[in-house]
Structure formats: structure tokens, C-alpha cells
């Protein structure tokens, strides 16, 4: 029996040792060491790497400050309610939020730091760094160092063509739009969000010689331009193109074109190793949260910084607005398909469209990093954190909705759902639908998840009345009835949803359980 137990224990250890040996041979012992010691990425990772310092100007534009903390915190009330917390401070602590800044018309209404962080702290950008790399591509275009976005990547990295002629078909534009067709393996341990040791995000993140990896190991999976896949290698290649086109490190060019012109504080950019000296381009820029807000302001102002055109307005527009000529069916379903409300991806920036032709754009990073810009309201929101569990950039889309529908949102907070809806009906104009479907759906789910089922039902009923042709509105109301144990009503609304959309897997599966 003891011998059997020893064998059972030895086999997995032997397999683990074999995997580590293979990974060491394929990538390097340094890669394996980093993988084992740092494991899942967090916002303190930069402390484990060599960093290049990027000097700030020290003397730059300062936002006015006229705090209205109660107003801003009210905009996050649904997020707090959904998380079942009693205050934004409690939510910030549990969500591992480190900074929250809200700026309107160059005036700070809210600036708070949490969980041991302060204005002078360094905040890890994660994938917000991608939007800064996009800026540098635009700067290189403005400087004439890159001749055009339709240039092949091999114009600047010719050795790739020798390794695989298909690289010649990949343009800089393809890299910017995440439509290069590069091979990018994504795999996780079953039932977790933890990368397998050979997941390409882990490989690119911990590899001590990323430039060598890009030149010798990354392969092509599909024809460029045909598909969308969020892939860090795209941004890494953009960094290598910047290096080749400018003759400078990415940190040097970023300091020259952006930091010394408009950023107050210094920043850091982690490199893969002293020997290689290549920045981890997709996500390891580290700066102050208030300087992230300045970057958002630059793009809000069309690239103009107090009279100086830091980056061309055309580049800002192309980077942050949706390219409607790209077929929506190449994107994942969760981006929203053909709906007028959907998420899009441009030149290393994300965006949200509205049915009234307004939009928001944002730099987005793992673990809760976001620079969220609402152009028509002249609003910039910066959120930094160290967790994905209780915050996402989608929450800021809902904040934008709460700003748009502020009167109703305010009444709900002050008077409750029943009274707010009653007052709405008193002044309702039947010729218009004043609320977006998404706004009422998100608000309803905040109440549903917060345990206020009756209020959720009322919000979903209002959504159904204002959007009677929406199969999803029927689904939402059915869900509320189901959680209230009103099974017959839930079945009625799920069946109505199926009538409107027969390919409704959610309703189909729910009815199997309820019938």
C-alpha cells in the first residue's frame, strides 16, 4: 500500500519535472524561474524586472480641482449595489481598486487612492500600454519615419520574410487592429483563468529575450485581415518596428514625443532582461494615475496640448473611432454583433458605440486598468486596480449611461425605483424611448444581483415597455421572475423571448429546467 502511494505521488512530480525541463529547453531557465516565482501577473511585477526610466516634464498643465465626490460616487452606486457592499470605499477595498479619478471639462471632481496607493505611487498600465504604443506609431508617421500603415512589417523587420514569406503580407495596420493572423496559443488550466505554462501570453510576458522570440519563434496561423484575435505579439512587433524606424528604444522615443512634452511625473518601462534590453511592449509601462488622465485629455482634445499639436488629429480620430468598413462578424459575439450599441477595437484602443451616434473610447488593461473618455461630455475617468473580479471597463460604460440618463438615475438613488418610475410615467412622451435598453438592463441586474428582486422586476418591466420588440428584455424579466420563484411567469416570458429569437440558447436551457 505504501509503495503504491509513493508511486502515485512520484508520477505527477516526475511529469511536472519533465514539463519544466522541456520549457527550459524551449524558452530558457529564466522563463521557467519567472513563471514559478511570479506565477499570475499582478501590478507589482515591475519590481521584479529591470526598468528604464522615462523623464517627465515636471512643469505641465494642471487640472483644476472642484470636488463633487457625492455625485461621482452616485454614478458608481449600481456597481456597489451589485457587489453587495454598503459604500464605494468598501467596494474599492474589496475590488482592490488603487486609484479612481473623474475629470469633467478639465476639472477634477473626484481623485481618491485606495489600498495603500497615493498620487505619487506607480500604477502598472497592463494593456493600457498598447494605446501608448499606438501613439508612438502615429508619432513615427508624423515624423516621416514610417511611410504608411499599409507598409509591410517586413519593410522594417526584413529578416522575418526570410523565415516565412507570409510575413510580408502583414501590414502595420493589421498589427494595430489585431488582425494579423499571427499564431497565438491560448490555453488555461481546466476550470481556472490561470494560463498554461506554454500559453503565449505567459511566454511573451516572462521570456528574457522577447526580441529573439519575435524574430525566430512566432508563427503565422491565418491570412491577415480576415480574423480578429487579441494577441500581445501584435503590439510587441509594433514596438520592434518603432525601434527599427526611429533608431531609439521605445522608452527613449516615448520620453521624447510624449513624456517631456506633457507628463508631470517620471515613468518606468520594464525590459525583458539587461542582455536583451527590449521593453515588454504590450503591458509593462508604469506611470502615475494622474498622468494617465493627461494622456486621456490629449486624445480628448484631438492630439492638441494647450496649443501644441503633439500628435495629428487625424491619427487620434483613426485610433479611437470605429472603422465601420470592418465586418462585425469577425469579432467575438460578446462585442455586440450588429447592434447599434456595441464594443469595437481600433488602433490599440477600445470603444463603445451608442445608437445616437455618440461613442466612448478607452485604453484597457488587465486587473482593472482603464482610461475611459466620454467625448460629448468632456469626461475622463481613470481607474487602476489589481483584480478583475469586481470591476471591468464595462462598468464605466454603465457610468456613462448613468450620466446620460442622470435625472432618472438620480431619482432612483434618492427616491427608490418605484417612485422614480412613477414620476417618469407622469411626464413620459410616448413618441420617444428615453432610455437605452442596455441602461435599464444593467441597472436591473445591479438590483437583481444586489438581492432587490422586486425593484429589478420593475426596471425590467419598464425596459420591456420601452423596448417591446426586444427578445433580450423578455429574457431579463423572465430571469427576475425565476429568481423570485414565480415559475409560471418566468416560463411565459422565456417563451415570448423564443418567439422573437428562436436561436435563443439561454431561454431554451432555462425552459428545460423550469418546465
Interval 125-158: pLDDT, tens: 999 999 999 999 999 999 999 999 999 999 999 9
State residue 202's pLDDT score.
85
The pLDDT of residue 343 is 95
Q: How far is CA 373 from the centre of its chain?
A: 13
For residues 307 and 158, give the distance between their C-alpha atoms in angstroms, rounded to a whole number: 39
Q: In the structure, what pLDDT confidence band is assigned to residue 11 with cuts at 50, 70 and 90?
A: low
Look at residue 7 and tell me whether its pLDDT is greater than 80: no
29 lies in some domain: no
pLDDT tens per residue, range 18-50: 666 767 777 888 887 888 888 778 899 999 999
| pLDDT band, residue 339 (cuts 50/70/90) | confident
Specify the residue for cell string 429589478.
Answer: 456
Is the pLDDT score of 6 beyond 70?
A: no
Query: What pLDDT was estimated at residue 427?
Result: 77
Task: Please tell me the predicted confidence (pLDDT) of residue 5.
Answer: 41
pLDDT at 130: 98
Angle value at C-alpha 487, between 486 and 492, nearest 5 degrees: 105
Question: How many other β-carbons are positioned within 10 Å of the β-carbon of residue 434?
Answer: 14
Flag whether pLDDT at 9 surpasses 50.
Answer: no
pLDDT for position 194? 72
Sequence-separated (6 or more) residues with CB below 8 Å from residue 6? none
* Domain assignment present for 157: no
**In which band, very low, low, confident or very high, does the pLDDT at 340 lie, cut at 50, 70 and 90?**
confident
469 located within any domain: yes
Give residues with Cβ within 8 angstroms of 171, minimum separation 6. Answer: 149, 150, 151, 152, 153, 224
Total domains, the chain: 1
Signed CA dihedral, 334, 178, 50, 205: sign only = positive
What does DSSP assign to residue 125? -
Check whether 58 has a pLDDT greater than 90.
no
349: confidence class by pLDDT, cuts 50, 70, 90:
very high
Of residues 332 and 370, the one with the higher pLDDT is 370
Q: Taking 70 as the threshold, does the pLDDT of residue 235 lie above it? A: yes
pLDDT at position 228: 96
Strand spans (E) along 235-349: 267-270, 285-287, 304-305, 308-309, 343-345
Give the mean pLDDT of 324-349: 90
DSSP secondary structure of 379-426: EEEEEEES-SSS--HHHHHHHHHHHHTHHHHHHHHHH-HHHHHHHHHH
User: In whole angstroms, what is the distance from residue 366 CA to residue 387 CA?
Assistant: 8
pLDDT given at position 425: 86
pLDDT at 333: 86
pLDDT at residue number 16: 60
Q: What CATH number is attached to the domain comprising 423?
A: 1.25.40.10
Q: Residue 504 falls within a domain, yes or no?
A: yes
Residues 6+ apart with CB under 8 A from 38: 45, 48, 206
Distances (CA, A) of 310 to 235, 249, 253, 260: 22, 19, 13, 11
Average pLDDT (84-107) is 96
What CA dihedral angle connects 493, 499, 504 and 508, to 10 degrees? 60
Domain carrying residue 459: 406-514
How far is residue 120's CA from residue 264's CA, in Å, rounded to a whole number?
Answer: 11
Which has more confidence, 369 or 14? Answer: 369
Q: Is residue 80 part of a domain?
A: no
Angle at 197 between CA 191 and CA 198, to 5 degrees: 110
Tens of pLDDT along 397-440?
999 999 999 999 999 999 999 999 999 888 776 545 578 999 99
What's the pTM value of the predicted model, to 2 decimals?
0.94
**Does 275 fall in a domain?**
no
CB count, 10 Å around CB of 129? Answer: 29
67 Cβ neighbours under 8 A, 6+ residues apart: 108, 109, 110, 111
Identify whether 260 is part of a domain: no
Query: Is residue 163 situated within a structural domain?
Result: no
C-alpha cell at position 282: 504590450
For the record, the C-alpha cell of 80 comes out as: 456597489
Highest mean pLDDT (candidates 100-104, 337-341, 389-393): 100-104
Amino acid at each position: 500500500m505504501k509503495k503504491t502511494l509513493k508511486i502515485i505521488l512520484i508520477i505527477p512530480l516526475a511529469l511536472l519535472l519533465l514539463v519544466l525541463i522541456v520549457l527550459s529547453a524551449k524558452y530558457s531557465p529564466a522563463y521557467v524561474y519567472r513563471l514559478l516565482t511570479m506565477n499570475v501577473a499582478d501590478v507589482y511585477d515591475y519590481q521584479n524586472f529591470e526598468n528604464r526610466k522615462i523623464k517627465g516634464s515636471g512643469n505641465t498643465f494642471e487640472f483644476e480641482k472642484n470636488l463633487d465626490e457625492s455625485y461621482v460616487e452616485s454614478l458608481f452606486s449600481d456597481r456597489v449595489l451589485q457587489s453587495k457592499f454598503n459604500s464605494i470605499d468598501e467596494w474599492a477595498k474589496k475590488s482592490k481598486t488603487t486609484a479612481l479619478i473623474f475629470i469633467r471639462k478639465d476639472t477634477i471632481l473626484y481623485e481618491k487612492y485606495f489600498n495603500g496607493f497615493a498620487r505619487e505611487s506607480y500604477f502598472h498600465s497592463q494593456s493600457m500600454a498598447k494605446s501608448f504604443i499606438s501613439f508612438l506609431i502615429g508619432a513615427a508617421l508624423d515624423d516621416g519615419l514610417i511611410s504608411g500603415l499599409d507598409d509591410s512589417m517586413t519593410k522594417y523587420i526584413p529578416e522575418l520574410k526570410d523565415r516565412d514569406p507570409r510575413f510580408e503580407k502583414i501590414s502595420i495596420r493589421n498589427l494595430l487592429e489585431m488582425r494579423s493572423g499571427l499564431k497565438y496559443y491560448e490555453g488555461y488550466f481546466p476550470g481556472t483563468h490561470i494560463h498554461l505554462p506554454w500559453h503565449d501570453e505567459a511566454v511573451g510576458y516572462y521570456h528574457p529575450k522577447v526580441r529573439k522570440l519575435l524574430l525566430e519563434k512566432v508563427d503565422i496561423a491565418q491570412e491577415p485581415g480576415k480574423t480578429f484575435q487579441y494577441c500581445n505579439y501584435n503590439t510587441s512587433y509594433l514596438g520592434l518596428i518603432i525601434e527599427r524606424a526611429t533608431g531609439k528604444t521605445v522608452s527613449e522615443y516615448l520620453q521624447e514625443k510624449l513624456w517631456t512634452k506633457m507628463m508631470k511625473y517620471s515613468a518606468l518601462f520594464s525590459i525583458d532582461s539587461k542582455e536583451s534590453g527590449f521593453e515588454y511592449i504590450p503591458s509593462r509601462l508604469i506611470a502615475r494615475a494622474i498622468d494617465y488622465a493627461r494622456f486621456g485629455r490629449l486624445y480628448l482634445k484631438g492630439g492638441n496640448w494647450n496649443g501644441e499639436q503633439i500628435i495629428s488629429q487625424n491619427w487620434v480620430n483613426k485610433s479611437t473611432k470605429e472603422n465601420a468598413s470592418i465586418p462585425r462578424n469577425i469579432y467575438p459575439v460578446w462585442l455586440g454583433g450588429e447592434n447599434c450599441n456595441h464594443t469595437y477595437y481600433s488602433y490599440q484602443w477600445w470603444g463603445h458605440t451608442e445608437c445616437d451616434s455618440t461613442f466612448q473610447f478607452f485604453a484597457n488593461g488587465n486587473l482593472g486598468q482603464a482610461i475611459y473618455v466620454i467625448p460629448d461630455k468632456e469626461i475622463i475617468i481613470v481607474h487602476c486596480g489589481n483584480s478583475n473580479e469586481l470591476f471591468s471597463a464595462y462598468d464605466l460604460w454603465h457610468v456613462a449611461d448613468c450620466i446620460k440618463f442622470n435625472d432618472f438615475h438620480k431619482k432612483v438613488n434618492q427616491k427608490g425605483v418605484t417612485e422614480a418610475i412613477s414620476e417618469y410615467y407622469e411626464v413620459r412622451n410616448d413618441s420617444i424611448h428615453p432610455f437605452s435598453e442596455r441602461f435599464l438592463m444593467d441597472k436591473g441586474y445591479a438590483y437583481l444581483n444586489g438581492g432587490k428582486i422586486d425593484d429589478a422586476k420593475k426596471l425590467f418591466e419598464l425596459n420591456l415597455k420601452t423596448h417591446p420588440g426586444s427578445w433580450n428584455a423578455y429574457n431579463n424579466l423572465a430571469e427576475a421572475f425565476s429568481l423570485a420563484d414565480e415559475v409560471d411567469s418566468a416560463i411565459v416570458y422565456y417563451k415570448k423571448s423564443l418567439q422573437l429569437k428562436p436561436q435563443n440558447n439561454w431561454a431554451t436551457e432555462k425552459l428545460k429546467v423550469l418546465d
